[in-house]
Amino acid sequence: MLSQIADCFLSLTHHHCSLYSMSSSVVVANIPLSVSDVTLLKFFGKTMKGCTVKHIQPFPDAYHYINEVASTRSVQLFLEGDQEVDVIKKTFEDERTMQQLIEMEKELSSTHQLETKVAASQVRRLSVTTA
């Protein structure tokens, strides 16, 4: 029984690794804490047609991804293909993108009557690193 569980785990792990090795990823830093993953996905849907985000996760991990001093966080975006990386890099490094994300979050919060009280970010723009 234990060996069957181990075989199943190894099979799932191998499949998981091969799934992400075929896609590209980028790390986006300096995202204001008030901007949710839902807002990031909405941003991709509205402004970046053709760029498909398959998965969003904290970067480098769930414990270290928040910069409390700057009120920002970092995430890793897994993309469908590598042709999207340059477009995403240019878009997220544009100073206007952060303001667009903040405005989209405010709109989302007011639409759903959410109250977000997070300190303003102390950085001017997002930073993107290809992984």
- DSSP bridge partners of 67: 72
* Whole-number pLDDT of residue 84: 82
What is the average per-residue pLDDT within 39-62?
Answer: 87
Can you give the residue range of the structural domain that contains 84? 23-130
Please give the mean pLDDT across all residues of the chain: 75
| Residue 2 located in a structural domain | no
* Whole-number pLDDT of residue 72: 92
| Residue 88 located in a structural domain | yes
How many structural domains does the chain have? 1
Q: Is the pLDDT of residue 78 over 60?
A: yes
Q: DSSP for 69-130, please give it.
A: TTTEEEEEEEES-GGGHHHHHHHHHSHHHHHHHHHHHHHHHHHTT-----PPPS-SS-EEEE
Q: Is the pLDDT of residue 45 over 70?
A: yes
| Residue 90 located in a structural domain | yes
| Residue 10 located in a structural domain | no
| Residue 113 located in a structural domain | yes
| Residue 68 located in a structural domain | yes
63-69-70 Cα angle (round to 5)? 100
pTM of the complete model = 0.69
* Whole-number pLDDT of residue 67: 92
Identify the CATH number of the domain in which residue 68 sits: 3.30.70.330
| Residue 5 located in a structural domain | no
